[in-house]
Amino acid sequence: MSKKGVASTLMCLWGWLLFVGVSQALATPQLRLIEPPFFVNAVKAGLPPVQQRVPTPHHVTDMQAINRQEGEYGGTLKTLVTREKDSRLMNAWGYARLLGYTPELHLKPDILRSYSVEEGRIFTFELRSNHRWSDGAPFTSQDFRFWYEDIANNDRLRPGGLPSFLLVEGKPPRFKVLSKTKFVYAWHKPNPQFLPELAKARPPFIYRPYHYLKQFHAKYADIKQLSIWAEQRRLRGWAPLFNRLDDMYGARNADLPTLQPWHRLFGESARRIVFARNPFFHRVDSKGKQLPYIDRVIMTVVDNKIVATKTQAGETHLQARGLKFADISLLKQAQRRGVLSLKLWRISKGSQISILPNLNVADKRLRKLFQNKHFRHALSLAINRKLINKVLYFGLAVPANDTVLPKSPLFMPHYQTAWTNHAPEVANKLLDEIGLKRQGINAMRHLPDGTPLRIIVELSGERQEQIDAMELVAADWRDIGIEVFVKPSQRDVIRARALSGELMMSVWTGFENGIPTAHMLPDDYAPTRSDFLSWPQWGLYYESSGNAGQLPQWLPAKRLIDLYKDFLRTQGNGQRESIWRDILEIHANNTIHIGLISQVRQPVAVKDLQNVPGDAFYGWDPGAHFGIHRMDAFFFPKQ
Amino acid sequence: MVSPPNNERPNSSPHENEDDYYLSKHPYQPQAKTSLAREQVALASASRWKLVYYRFKKHRLAVFALYTLLLFYLCVPFAEQIAPYSANTRNSDYLYAPPQSIHLFHEGKWQGPFVYPMKASVNLEFMRWDYEIETQKPMHLRFFCRGEPYKYLGTFKLDFHLVCPPENGVFYPLGTDRLGRDLLSGLIHGARLSLTLGLVGVAISMVLGVVLGGLAGYLGGLVDGAIQRLIEILRSLPELPLWMALSAAMPVTWSPIAVYLGLTVILGLLDWPGLARAVRAKIMALKQEDYAKAALYMGASPSRIIFRHLLPGFTSHLIASATLSIPAMILGETALSFLDLGLRRPAVSWGVLLNEAQSISVVVLYPWLMAPMLVVIIVVLAFNFLGDGLRDAADPYHH
């Protein structure tokens, strides 16, 4: 299965010259579009009719082909979020991207009419004609030029310089506008980061509404007026003002036009966030209805603890955020009462619970111990994962390492199972061999220099399941003579302690992307960032290009970062796949993350909504939660 | 004011009607005063503490509360013996098991206390654990038996229990939690920490309050000023952030006992100012009394004046406020643990148990996990009734 998957991605994505999306455009010569009732009055008042609002060629979704039904216009979707800044989720869930993933993880043009790639380094993009922003202004090459030249390359707005996905060996691309709808980015060497970055749940938005934002940009606007506006908002100068208003992802500026299915309205309060359908959205269904089907989305900000309570009372139409596996029993009961229907999606993280020894811990003796793979193997072998599965997940999850899941074309069974069998005798033998002797009245293990071995495991305390799992793990580890203390703390505290080397071990969720295809970046799997709790110092070294942190001397880490650098130079998927395999092999052999369990179910509560898939994967990147599963196609059936 | 001799008191009170003056028909007998009944003699000559005792006994509710509390406090020294399991014993075959009822009759025949075995299975339709009770074979509970071994007082290896689960069976009269831990055992072990924390905390705050308040009230002047300012500072500190900071400062490698002591000290240190103020006010008032001045002029030392002459004047107040602040301490501990600031497993207190019961799932699906709430209510109420009775009793001359 994996070979087929790879071959198909290979065919679809990177060849020499691949025009994808053209066929899509040709397939729909003439479609009679149906005006949504939501806009009937607006059209009478002067809004152009739907035929003139939707760009050509249309982006047509054949609902039957993706196992959905054609929907009905209308309705207001209510959902619960837990923070005011969660308004940004609308832009993830909407998931209108220049090019985006299908649920099968193929990259397809979405906002773009088509794109082509030459030699893995020259990217030519073409827009649909008559594509418009949500306020009706045309969306053209100018918007891309504006972002690249006036924002990304402006040192007042972006003091850090260009983002790393735009740099190949430190060099920027040449950007050139070819026509109103056509433009090109060209690097001197292949850039495998570029396209996957554009499809992320939080994309870089390499285009900005020029017509709106230019009035706040010093190059185009009167600097005196800008400083008056900035002063009114107590901001220092035009640049902070511009960045405040330029909030493509956060959706806090209701004036900022968007290309997403829903755009923000001025709300009456910060705890009730209202979105309305974008009249100029580019997708339509094969019956001629403009997407999204749903007119309005209302997010209510509530405390995390009462999301389950409100969901089972039927106060939300679509809810996954804030619901945990442990809430399933409660939600099933609500389903029996007919309040909602419950779908159980599979979480696509590498692991639900992953124990991360800090390989950069400041204590020299512990560092040596943690870097010893026999020690990590012993810890892994001592854990009874089946019991954790039974106690916490009714036996429905999969006891496994923190690695790729079977859905990924890169999956191999031994990645998942290496060193995960429950074998305390072997673990004991391994520990004896590396010189951790049992001593003292309670016969716990001591370090070779005679000090008792005490491991403090810190966790964020937000998830009860992590605390419960650690209680089971601590008992298992005590059986092999290792004393463990579990300390609930806070995310930021843990990150800071990791970087300073005080953190010994932590519990976190596993790799964010457990379902990578060969062309996705393996950045999670190598020490590339300082917020990775297994190797913060090595990550910092890479992140800062060697100006801070430590150069990894530990062989597996060295090898991983070299492989990652190789990946950034690859041109085709064949090379990428072999690099991925090497990386995953290193993780399987070294048990760098001690993963406990994966493929846990995520409850998704649905009320009255149609077209929500029953069995799907739930993840952030790739996935964007509902985004990849086409939230714009969800609809309320007519009574 | 002379009251009529008791043996001649009529049934109706003389004050019922203002105009209805009562006149004894019997001739006045001066000797009657000396012919009191024996109990009356005892009462008249009883010591102060005896009077307190007599008075207390009359307060039925307080006596009942006292016995209830004694029963609870039995768990403090003998938790291991009373509880069938230890507080952290997990049994992964019985997750979220509902309370098991104790039966006496099986098929109409007397059997003595027994339970029916139950068997867990996953109900995938509703995603929960279902328990099937097998009513064919009764399993007898064992009493005064050998069960799960434990280390008594951290040294003696024992395995004696008051009640044990049946052979090859389980006994969960209050059900189990999500990891299969017995709730009854949790409550009994939790009582040890929750109940003593109040006592120790109040003791600390009493000592501090009486000493500092007494000094401030007796000496006055600069000492009084300093102590008053200290109290004001302590009172003005916001409590929640202070608790958070202090509990964050406690290292994780501390044993539960050390964390517990730390918590008690924190609670005690924060509680004394109120008491100190009351003591100071009382001392200031009482030291103006003639008997206090007399003692001073006769050359008594300050400590003798305070402890011998002034303190008895407000013991009743002290006792009452002490008993009333014990439940406040218990609630304080529950609140702290509820907020994840206090004790943590493996230490078990009622607050820890309540902390684990704070979700809608528990309320709807596993209501037995809220049992610690009931226990807290009972104990706090009992302390309040007891304090009420003690306050009345401590001032036997006052009506």
Do B350 and B239 share a structural domain?
yes
- Conformation bin of residue B95: beta by default, left when phi > 0, alpha when psi is -120 to 50: beta
User: Which residues, in sequence order, are bridge partners of residue A263?
Assistant: A276
- Integer Cα distance of A170 and A162 in angstroms: 9
∠ at Cα B190 (B186, B195), nearest 5°? 155
Determine the topology of domain A2-208+246-294 in CATH.
Dipeptide-binding Protein; domain 1 (3.90.76)
Residue pointed to by tokens 């040192």? A155
Of A395, A396, A456, the CB nearest to B252: A456
Domain co-membership, B329 together with B250: yes
At residue A168, the pLDDT reads 92
Q: Which residues of A touch B122 (CB under 8 A)?
A: 394-395
Residue A360 per-residue DSSP state: T
- Per-residue pLDDT band for B286 (boundaries 50, 70, 90) equals confident
Taking CB atoms and an 8 Å cut-off, how many pairs form between chains A and B? 61
Asked whether the CA dihedral A206, A211, A214, A215 is positive or negative, the reply is negative
Q: Among residues A184, A178, A182, A152, which one has the least CA distance to residue A166?
A: A152
Total structural domains within chain B: 2
pLDDT in tens, A358-406: 999 999 999 999 999 999 999 999 999 999 999 999 999 999 999 999 9
User: Which structure tokens are listed for A507?
Assistant: 């519990």
Q: What would the pLDDT profile of A123-160 be if each residue is shown by its tens digit?
A: 999 999 999 999 999 999 999 999 999 999 999 999 98
Question: Is B53 domain-assigned?
Answer: no
3-state secondary structure of A181: coil
DSSP states along B24-88: -SSPP-GGGGG---HHHHHHHH--HHHHHHHHHHH-HHHHHHHHHHHHHHTHHHHHHHHSSS-TT
| Dist CA A526 CA A550 (whole Å) | 14
> What residues in A contact B126, CB-CB < 8 Å?
329, 332-333, 336
What is the SS3 assignment for A198?
Answer: helix
Domain co-membership, B208 together with B145: no
User: Do A394 and B92 count as a contact with CB atoms less than 8 A apart?
Assistant: no
Residues in chain A: 639
CB contact under 8 A, B359 and A456: no
pLDDT digits (tens, 9 = 90+) for A158-190: 998 899 899 998 899 999 999 999 999 999 999
Pull the structure tokens for residue A569. 């130079």
CATH number for position B350 = 1.10.3720.10
Task: List chain B residues with CB under 8 Å of A390.
Answer: 92
Residue B10 lies in a domain: no
- On whether both B321 and B368 belong to a single domain, the answer is yes
Is B361–A471 a contact, with Cβ atoms under 8 angstroms apart? no
Tokens at B252, concatenated: 């994780």
Mean pLDDT (chain A) is: 90
d(Cα A587, Cα A560) in Å, to the nearest integer? 9
The helix or strand, by DSSP H or E, that contains position A115, with its residue range, turns out to be strand A112-118
All residues at 6 or more sequence positions from A31 whose CB lies less than 8 Å from its CB, including other chains: A58, A60, A284, A286, A288
Per the CB < 8 A criterion, the answer to whether A224 and A209 are in contact is no
Q: A208 vs A89, A133, A140, A246, B146, CA distance in Å?
A: 19, 10, 10, 8, 76
Q: Which domain holds residue B108?
A: 100-171
Shared domain for B119 and B212, answered yes or no, is no
Q: Where are the domains of chain A?
A: 2-208+246-294, 303-342, 353-598
Q: Are residues B266 and B140 in the same domain?
A: no
pLDDT given at position A150:
94
Confidence of residue B9 (pLDDT cuts 50, 70, 90): very low
Is B199 an interface residue toward A (CB < 8 Å)? no
Q: Examine residue A292 and say whether the peptide bond preceding it is cis (omega within 30 degrees of 0).
A: yes
Q: Which two tokens stand for residue A43?
A: 């059209």
Query: Which tokens is A128 given?
Result: 């649909």
Question: Is the same domain home to B161 and B248?
Answer: no
Lay out the sheet containing A601-606: strands in order across. Answer: A318-319, A601-606, A341-347, A617-618
| Binary contact (B179, A468; C-beta < 8 A) | yes
Q: Last residue of some domain: B171, B202, B233?
A: B171
User: Which residues are CB-contacts of B167 (< 8 A; sequence separation ≥ 6)?
Assistant: B139, B142
Measure CB to CB from residue B126 to each of A309, A333, A475 and give the nearest one.
A333
Query: Does the pLDDT of residue B340 top 80, yes or no?
Result: no
Identify which has the larger pLDDT, B339 or A542: A542
Q: Do residues B323 and B388 both lie within one domain?
A: yes
> B341 CB contacts (<8 Å, ≥6 apart)?
B243, B244, B247
Give me the mean pLDDT over the B348-363 stretch: 85
Sequence-ordered list of residues with C-beta below 8 angstroms from that of A441, at least 6 positions apart, any chain: none
Task: Using CB atoms, pick whichever of A326, A330, A485 lies closest to residue B364.
Answer: A330
Give A635 to chain B, closest Cα distance, Å. Answer: 27
Burial class (CB in 10 A: 0-12, 13-18, 19+), B225: exposed
- Tell me how far apart the alpha carbons of residues A501 and A499 are, in angstroms, rounded to a whole number: 5
Q: Position A301: which residue type?
A: V
**B178 to chain A: closest CA residue:** A391
Residues B125 and B193 placed together within one structural domain of the fold: no
Identity (one letter) of the amino acid at B111?
Q
Give a yes or no: residue B80 inside a domain.
no
Partner-chain contact A395 B178, CB within 8 Å: no
Which residue type sits at A163? P
Q: Which residue has the higher pLDDT, A552 or A28?
A: A552
In this predicted model, which residue has the larger pLDDT, A79 or B265?
A: A79
List helix spans (H) across A98-206: 141-145, 194-198
Collapsing DSSP to helix, strand or coil, A277 comes out as strand
What pLDDT digit, counting tens, does each position of A395-441 carry?
999 999 999 999 999 999 999 999 999 999 999 999 999 989 888 87
Please tell me whether residues B226 and B292 are part of one structural domain: yes
Q: Is the pLDDT confidence value at B3 over 50? A: no
Return the percentage of chain A with pLDDT > 90, whole number.
Answer: 80
Torsion of CA A46, A51, A52, A56, to 10 degrees: 160
CA distances from A142 to A127, A149, A209, A244, A256 (A): 11, 10, 9, 22, 17
Q: Please state whether the predicted TM-score (pTM) of the whole model is above 0.90.
A: no
In this prediction, residues A39-65 reach a mean pLDDT of 92
User: CA separation (Å) from A553 to A538, A557, B221?
Assistant: 9, 7, 69
B365 to chain A, any CB pair closer than 8 A? The answer is yes
- The amino acid at A430: L
Pairwise CA distance, residues B21 & B23, whole Å:
6
Flag whether residue A472 sits within 8 Å of chain B, measured between CB atoms. yes
Q: How many CB atoms lie under 10 A from the CB of residue A487?
A: 17
CA distance A353 to A364: 27
| Chain A touched by B3 (CB under 8 Å) | no
Last residue of some domain: B171, B203, B220? B171
The CATH number corresponding to A353-598 among 3.10.105.10, 3.30.830.10, 3.20.20.70, 3.90.950.10 equals: 3.10.105.10
CB atoms A329 and B365 under 8 Å: yes
- For the record, the structure tokens of A637 come out as 């059936």
Answer left, alpha or beta for residue B279, where phi above 0 means left and psi between -120 and 50 means alpha.
alpha
- What is the β-pairing status of strands A272-277 and A437-439? unpaired
Of B178, B345, B361, Cβ closest to residue A327:
B361
| H-type alpha helices, B168-252 | 183-219, 221-236, 239-249
Of A336, A391, A488, the CB nearest to B92: A391
> Do B317 and B203 share a structural domain?
yes
Q: What are phi and psi of A612, to 5 degrees?
A: -90, 120
Q: How confident is the model at residue B137 (pLDDT cuts 50, 70, 90)?
A: confident
User: What is the DSSP code (8-state) at residue A157?
Assistant: T
**pLDDT tens-digit series, residues A196-232:** 999 999 999 999 999 999 999 999 999 999 999 999 9
For residue B86, the chain A residues in CB contact (below 8 A) are none
Beta-carbon contacts of residue B125 (< 8 Å; ≥ 6 apart): A332
B61 located within any domain = no
Reply yes or no on whether the pLDDT at A318 is more than 70: yes
A315-324: burial string, b at 16+ Cβ within 10 Å, e else: bbbbbbbbbb
SS3 B385: helix
Question: In sequence order, what DSSP letters do the residues of A542-568 get, joined into one string?
Answer: HHTTTSSS----SHHHHHHHHHHHHHT
For chain B, say whether A544 makes contact (Cβ under 8 Å). no
Q: Is A466 in CB contact (< 8 Å) with chain B?
A: no
Q: Would the ipTM clear 0.85, i.e. be above it?
A: no
Q: Distance, in angstroms, between A391 CA and closest chain B CA? A: 6
State how far the alpha carbon of A56 is from the alpha carbons of A113, A123, A263, A281, B163, in Å. Answer: 9, 22, 21, 12, 80
pLDDT at B15: 52
Instruction: Select from A617, A46, A634 the least CA-distant residue to A291.
Output: A634
Task: Give DSSP secondary structure letters for A564-625.
Answer: HHHHTT--SHHHHHHHHHHHHHHHHHHTSSEEEEE--EEEEEESS-BS--SS-EE-STTTTT
The residue among B151, B360, B366, B369 with the most chain A CBs within 10 A of its CB, best to mutate, is B360
